Amino acid sequence: MSANPPTWLKSVATRVESRLSDFLQDEQDRWSALDDDLNAPLGELTRLVAAGGKRLRPAFCYLAFVGVGGDENSKQLL
């Protein structure tokens, strides 16, 4: 039996994945411009991070942020 995560958790995970993807692409572009040999290890790092996970830490941060009165739609979350 597989559990279907709540909508808010899916939303947080999607936002985190998007931010991570953008960040890693920016870093790969930046470092590869300095040395093309860095492309392979940075690509591997990106693959490892993109392999997924539960992303529980961002979910806990989200809950804490909202719990102390933060706006659940705020861009400050990321």
Q: How does pLDDT run across 60-75, given as a tens digit for each residue?
A: 998 999 899 988 888 7
pLDDT at 74: 80
Average confidence (pLDDT) over 54-63:
87
DSSP assignment of 11-77: HHHHHHHHHHHHHHHHHHHHHHHH-GGGHHHHHHHHHHHHT----HHHHHHHHHHHHTT--TT-GGG
**Better-predicted residue by pLDDT, 76 or 36:** 36
**pTM, to two decimals:** 0.76
